[in-house]
Homo-oligomer: A and B are copies of this chain.
Amino acid sequence: MSEQVGFIGLGEMGLGMARNLLAAGYPLKVYNRTRSKAEPLSALGAQSAPTAADAVTPGGVAVTMLSDDRALEEVTTAGALAQRLGEGGIHVSMSTISPETARRLAQYHAQGGSVYVAAPVFGRPEAAASRRLWICTSGPKAAKERIKPLLDAMGQGTFDFGEEVAAANVTKLAGNFLIASAIEALGEAFVLAQKNGVDRAALADMLGKTLFASTVYQAYGRAIADRRFTPPGFKLELGLKDVDLVLGLASKSRTPMPIASLLHDRFIAALAKGRENFDWSAISIAAADDAGVK
C-alpha cells in the first residue's frame, strides 16, 4: 500500500469512497471545498489538505469525485491538480461528466506528464459507503493496472471499455439514461395500473421478482409505487444534469433519442413544480399529474 493517494470531493459519494480507501490501508490526503466535510475522515487518520493541489503527491494518484464538468475542470487546471501530479502521476476521474471534458483533461494531463483515467461509477451513496459501486474504466492500460487495487477497494466490480479515454463516460451516460428511462416507464405503467384497479405495490412486487429482478427496477419500482421520493438518494437536479449531458452528446453525435428528450421535459417540469429536493425518481409523478391523479 505504498501508493500516495489524494482524494478530492467529499460529497455524499466521495465521503464513502474515501473512507473505503482508508479502510484498505491507503495513506490518504483529502480535500473538499467546504473543509468541515473532511473531519470524519481526519478522525480516521486522513490528512486534510488546504487546497486540492496540496492533497496531491507528485507521481502519486489523485482521485476526484466532483459535482460536474466545471468543478472538475477548475480543480484540475486552475487548481493545479495536474501540474502537481506531474510525471508518473495518475488522475482517477470518477465524476459523471461529458466525454468532451474527459478528452480535454486527458490532453491537459499529457502535457504535464501525468495520465488521466476515466472511472465513473454506478451506485448511490449507500453503495459507495458499502463498497458496492460498479466502476467503468477507460484510458491507458498501464495506468488502469496500477490503480486496480484502489478501484477494488471502492467497488464490487470494474468493467473496462478500452483505451479511448472517454469511453467510460459515454457508458456512464448511457447507463444513467437507461435508469431514468426505466423510472419514466414505471411511472407511466403504475398510473395505468392504478387507474384500472391494480395495486401499484403488488405490481412492483411482481415485476421485481420476475421480468425485472434487478436493483434498478426493485428499488425504484418500490419507491415509485409508494410515492416515496425523500430523502433523495440522487437529487432531481443531478438527474437533469445527467440527462442534459446525454442530450448534449446525442446532439453532437447526431443521435435522435426521443426518450431522452421526453426525460428532459420531465425533469424541467418536476423542478418547475418545486420538487428540487426530491429524488430523481420523482419525475415519475408527472405521469400521475398528467392523468389527473392526486
B-contacting residues of A (Cβ < 8 Å)?
A: 99, 122, 134, 136, 157, 159, 161-162, 164, 166-167, 170-171, 173-175, 177-179, 181-182, 184-186, 188-193, 195-199, 202-203, 205-207, 209-217, 246, 249-250, 253-260, 262, 287, 290-292
Contacts and interface: CB of A to CB of B under 8 A. Distances in A.
Please classify the interface of chain A as helix (H, G, I), strand (E, B), loop, or mixed, using the class held by over half of its residues: helix
A152 to B, nearest CB: 15
A182 B184 contact: no
A207 B191 CA distance: 27
B257 A211 contact: no
A255 B192 contact: yes
A192 B213 contact: no
12 contacts: A157-B210, A161-B203, A174-B203, A178-B189, A179-B211, A181-B184, A192-B257, A195-B253, A195-B255, A254-B292, A255-B290, A259-B259
B262 A202 contact: no
Contact of A177 (B189, B209, B260): B189
Contacts of A182: 181-182, 185
A151 to B, nearest CB: 14
B254 A159 contact: no
A158 to B, nearest CB: 10
Nearest to A293: B255
Contact of A215 (B136, B162, B174, B211): B211
A117 to B, nearest CB: 16
Q: Which of A136, A170, A249 has the most CB of B within 10 A?
A: A170
Contacts of A291: 253-256
A46 to B, nearest CB: 29
Contacts of A157: 209-210
